[in-house]
Amino acid sequence: MIDGGIDPDIFSFNILLGACAEAASLAAAHRWFGRMMQAGMEADTVTHRTMVTVCARAGNPQLAEEWLTKMRDACHPLDEVSCSSLIAAHATANDAIGAERCLQRMQEEGVPAGRPAFDPVIRAWSAGGAETAEPARAEGWLWKALEAGVEPTGASLVALLAAFVRTGDLEGAERVAAVMRRLR
């Protein structure tokens, strides 16, 4: 693009970064971000959001957090997409504490939290065997989601139900089953 004599704009670079996010290619995203900086452009909200998403999809929640901090430091408002991407990155990395912390921070900062924010936290606390799953903690997030008017996905509810069964808490499983019946 640049080498071919085309003068790209921020939109062009954001499209390229979006493709890097789709491919979960952190190296390519950093390369294009560097080229964008060399071209004298400033990262906008979309740029920062996309870099958070690239890092999240590449399985690097720590780097995604760094980009979210850069976004905040550049006075770009945090948004649900960026925060939810970060939450999902922590959940995918089996870091339920990190996912929960990010959702709490999101709520403290007044960023609306929807299904993409609550579901990964519920699933993260539901994951694992009888020794590692913490379904009571996941259930706490289920109730917070419902109180916020957010209906978790069936997959999250099934994961929570299964976690209660794995840990031998049949009363907890029945509570989740009751929610599932109510929501269908």
Domain range list for the chain: 1-77, 105-184
Instruction: List alpha helices for 2-42, DSSP H.
Output: 10-23, 26-38
Q: Could you tell me the pTM of the whole model?
A: 0.86
pLDDT tens digits, 4-43: 567 789 999 999 999 999 999 999 999 999 999 999 999 9
Report residue 174's pLDDT band, with 50, 70 and 90 as the boundaries. Answer: very high
**Is the pLDDT confidence value at 1 over 80?**
no
List phi, psi (to 5°) of 95: -110, 75
Residues 6+ apart with CB under 8 A from 20: 26, 28, 29, 32, 50, 54
Length of the chain: 184
Per-residue pLDDT band at 170 (split at 50, 70, 90):
very high
Mean pLDDT of the 46-52 span: 94
Confidence (pLDDT) at 2: 58
Percent of the chain that is helix, strand, coil (3-state, to 5): 70, 0, 30
pLDDT tens-digit map of 80-139: 999 999 999 999 999 999 999 999 999 999 999 999 999 999 999 999 887 889 999 999
**Count of other CB atoms within 10 angstroms of residue 28:** 16
User: What is the residue type of 121?
Assistant: V
Tokens of 86: 């970060």
The DSSP line for 105-163 is HHHHTT----HHHHHHHHHHHH-S-TTT--HHHHHHHHHHHHHTT----HHHHHHHHHH
Please give the average per-residue pLDDT across 131-150, as a whole number.
96
Whether residue 149 is predicted with pLDDT greater than 70 in this model: the reply is yes
Cβ 48 vs Cβ 64: under 8 Å: no
